[in-house]
Amino acid sequence: MTWVEPSPTATALLLLGRGADPDTEKGVECPGDLPAPSDPGLVERAARAKAALGDRVFVLGHHYQRDEVIQFADVTGDSFKLAREAAARPGAEFIVFCGVHFMAESADILTSDSQRVVLPDLAAGCSMADMAALVQVEKAWDRFAELGIAGEIVPVTYMNSSADIKGFVGRNDGVVCTSSNAETALRWSFEQGTKVFFLPDQHLGRNTAVLKMGMSLDDCVLYDPHKPGGGLTDGQLRGAKMILWRGHCSVHGRFTLDSVHDVRERVPGVNVLVHPECKHEVVTAADHVGSTEYIIKTIEAAPAGSAWAVGTELNLVRRLANAHPDKQIMFLDRNVCYCSTMNRIDLPHLVWALEELAAGRVPNQITVDAETAHHARVALDRMLALP
């Protein structure tokens, strides 16, 4: 089968929610008609539908969502915080997750069978999560087994992964981690084995291993699922402490060392604050590195008049700048950098989802099969048990 480069028009329409990508597991079409983005009554319609549902609905909003969506969130946070918040609301019949697909899967895994998780746009995916398909990961694991090293390896997957990958990790005695507890998860893993297979974000794995665990870059190898044998020799795999999957965040991966140098030249005394999903050279050149929650707390605690260049998703950076006008807060890159798939959850999709629920119909329900959910829950519970 010959792969055909999509046209710029087709790609643009897909990002706007007007097309389909047959190569992903997620759908894109809504079974009803979306309200027009120009409808002046969208805010009122969302408020009315949410009020009609009352305590039956609980709306979760990820930090990277648009302000027009965040205003209707009962709770805002990162992916894991939101999934736990959903699990802590057993009385809510419907969980409307304004985030991306893997987040809604995690919410379904952690909530009860009587609760239904809704994703307002099924095409709101995560490019990083999509970079690790179960068949690819199992093929890599088979190679490790053939080399006789699988018994030494503990698989660790970032929260930003599909339920299938979390299930794989749970079946193979591994653990899930977040950007906040990656170091703790790795230390636990190295107590269980001598190697870690880190999925799917190479940068979080590398930055944690080198900057937090004292490893060298030579201790890390990069497994590329698109190359024979992952592009690694038997010797490289046997000698590695960290086997990193070739995945990355499309947003955080765009920040460069030039971005850091440029902002320092333009803004004397600026503090550079970045997420650990950024490239290693960007992280090592920054002043502060941490999770989304860390970034928010650091800005909140910063003194008035201080200047901050923040390397994370633009919606959050703009929200922080608006919330702290006494501080100079800017985007690290000169070019804007929204998460295109996160931004698919807009006000028309939220209005449509809430009105469907109010009318007695459940749209875009996210359901993880029982076996996958069981093993994924094992890996998640293992993370929750970490000190």
- Between CA 190 and CA 195 the distance in angstroms is 7
CB atoms within 10 A of CB 210: 19
List residues forming the annotated binding site for iminosuccinate: 62, 79, 158-160, 179, 275-277, 292
Q: Give the β-pairing of 365-366 and 116-118.
A: antiparallel
List residues forming the annotated binding site for [4Fe-4S] cluster: 126, 249, 339
Give residue 201's identity as a one-letter amino acid code: D
3-class state of residue 197 by DSSP:
strand
- Between CA 345 and CA 126 the distance in angstroms is 13
CB contact at 8 A, 331 and 310? yes
Tell me the torsion sign for CA atoms 179, 261, 338, 18. negative
> 259 is written with which tokens?
């971005």
Give residue 301's identity as a one-letter amino acid code: A
CB contact at 8 A, 363 and 338? no
- Between CA 364 and CA 381 the distance in angstroms is 27
List residues forming the annotated binding site: 62, 79, 126, 158-160, 179, 249, 275-277, 292, 339
* Nearest alpha-carbon partner for 68 in 344, 356, 320: 344
In DSSP notation, 318-366 reads: HHHHHH-TTSEEEESSSS----TTGGG--HHHHHHHHHHHHTT---SEE
- The structure tokens 């709101």 sit at 124
* Nearest alpha-carbon partner for 133 in 225, 211, 51: 225
Tell me the torsion sign for CA atoms 76, 80, 82, 84. negative
CB contact at 8 A, 158 and 201? yes
- Between CA 172 and CA 323 the distance in angstroms is 44
